[in-house]
Amino acid sequence: MADVSVRFAMTNDSEVVLNLSLPQALRLMEAIARKVGETLAERSGPPGVGGVVPSPQSANGMPSLGPYSPS
């Protein structure tokens, strides 16, 4: 059984549901946050032009948990 269900709305009447273990869900969240940080950094340009370039590690406001290593 999955620890976490992650739902992504695709359209008004459909969604994708991922049933993941907690470590898998954490890796997914970190990957999404990293991609958002990279995208924001690309759009804002160099530091001092258009604002501060966000750090991908802190884009979600939380410290990175580091890479997942199974026990």
Q: What is the pTM of this model?
A: 0.53
Give the chain's end-to-end CA distance (angstroms, integer).
19
The pLDDT tens digits of the residues spanning 17-52 come to: 999 999 999 999 999 999 998 888 888 766 555 555
Q: How many CA atoms lie within 13 A of 52 on its CB side?
A: 5
Q: Considering just the CA atoms, what is the radius of gyration of the chain in Å? A: 15
Are the C-beta atoms of residues 21 and 4 closer than 8 Å to each other?
yes
| Residue 8: pLDDT band with limits 50, 70, 90 | confident
Query: Which tokens go with 57?
Result: 């590690």
